[in-house]
Chain A
């Protein structure tokens, strides 16, 4: 599904150059649930941005579902993002003046899905994350866990190949975190490929594979026994 070969990325900070990713090689198969771990400054967010086509790599190869991702125009990148990727952010990033339903329907708008179909589809995904009764609520009327579930529904709505989650539980208490992880695991059970960036050990162990990043290189890549979040809920 995802294939990365010898990926390099550096940022210019004034006259200095900060080498953030120093040759990453990494492969994700379809249906995997991968945790990317690392302390701050390890390059995990940069890697996620490149995977999410929000940033370009300096050198190296990146293939997503057999499509080489290289030298994309902004328009093309937007198209690919819409088609291939669903984002889940630490701070939810819902549009605050749109209801839960409208937030979920937004990626479908950019796929030019007709309004009615959009609403139906969005409702289906809201139902799947258990928030159908809150469809007409604004994000400000929802709890943190509910917001993240709306964000997950939104990421799912476009039916992407890969879900990218950047610290999805970072802003949540542990009970709510487990609820969200439970949801992510269930989505993964349905065969969706998911990448989770996190620095919490327990969250990482709820994935099937942990990739450790340190100073821009992968120091450890291991399969783990998945801890089901269900038991904590």
Chain B
């Protein structure tokens, strides 16, 4: 491998057989190119699906009360379950160690919202300060509700970016403007951005204000929590399931619901949902690998084929070399060395070209469920290594055949 003479011999051969070398290299380079693009798009799909889940914090857990469907402890089915402040406070206290952020939520109903003379038809929700993190809402302007707003029943409102565009288009900034909610002026103090337009059509006000000002009493519509991040995905899923079960059990007991009546209290965990989709993307990834490996096999067969032709074409030359005193191993070494060199160079060429393409085009790809196709360099690198090794193995047969060339026959005049 480090024989300088051999290298010179190989460079000579390559320089003088440019077309043949180019064609061999092209087949390898395109094999690697296809593989990397495929893997890139596999990763792109994974990114896209992950992105769909980024709307809400990935560790979020949501509680939605419903209607009981089973008779339990003398209570009839068909009862509507109403969550109250006490449920939230107690749950927060019980699972204090497990909860990162928590917020109850109330949907304010039977109200009218106006800005100046314009009637707005957006939903108003009372939430706590932590809700920003649970929804993963990004503040574009101003700030979210804070603790002070909650204790002081502040008449403040946070609006979605879409509302800003639709309603406050004429003013520089909606911050400082007042909107009327059932005749009570609320000052706009922040604008948030969400992944989806639908979620930007909301007006958030402090939950305490929502309950006290709009006759909410101590009723809540749903609860939401996020759990602290864990080191790996499996731990996070296990944590989410534990928390979910504990929370449901507590709520079922307080509200006297049969333990198997899942419809009455629905607890939804983003983590569990994510796990299903991760499973899906893993399958997709597996599929792409399968296709990729098939491509590599095709590439190897291609290399082997071309090497066979090369040996055939060079039979006479090999015969001459043997007559001049080339040892069998020097013939094998020459053919293999050249093949490995060509495969490696063109493999890296294909790799670099495809990675550059992914790098340039990738970030601009914005199709549903495909985002920023890219490839892990280590993966690509190891495929090149695999290709070279496989190419060597495939090349060995023709090389060995070359070494067995009969001098007399190869030099016989046609």
Residues of chain A whose beta carbon lies under 8 Å from any beta carbon of chain B? 49, 52, 54-55, 74-75, 78-79, 81-83, 87, 89-91, 93-95, 97-98, 102, 106-107, 109-112, 114-115, 154, 158
Contacts and interface: CB of A to CB of B under 8 A. Distances in A.
Given A110-B325, A110-B327, 5 more contacts: A78-B326, A97-B17, A106-B324, A109-B5, A110-B326
B13 A79 contact: no
Query: DSSP class of B's interface residues: helix, strand, loop or mixed?
Result: helix
A78 B328 contact: yes
B325 A83 contact: yes
A111 B317 CA distance: 18
Nearest to B8: A115
Nearest to A103: B320
B5 A81 contact: no
A111 B320 contact: no
B12 interface: yes
Kindly name the residue among A49, A54, A55 whose own CB sees the greatest number of chain B CB atoms within 10 A: A54
Contacts of A111: 325
Contact of B317 (A81, A95, A112, A115): A95
Contact of B408 (A54, A75, A78, A95): A54
A75 B325 contact: no
Contacts of A74: 327-328, 403
A95 B320 contact: yes
Given A54-B323, A87-B324, A97-B17, A110 B413 contact: no
Given A93-B316, A93-B320, A95-B317, A82 B407 contact: no
Contacts of A93: 316, 319-320, 323, 411
Q: Which 6 A-B pairs have the closest CB atoms?
A: A82-B325, A97-B16, A78-B327, A110-B325, A107-B324, A54-B407
Nearest to A48: B408
A97 B21 CA distance: 14
Contact of B13 (A82, A97, A114, A158): A97
Contacts of B403: 74
B136 interface: no
Given A54-B408, A93-B411, A87 B323 contact: yes
B95 interface: no
A12 to B, nearest CB: 15
Contact of A89 (B16, B326, B327, B411): B411
B250 interface: no
B327 A154 contact: no
B267 to A, nearest CB: 76
B311 to A, nearest CB: 15
Contacts of B17: 97
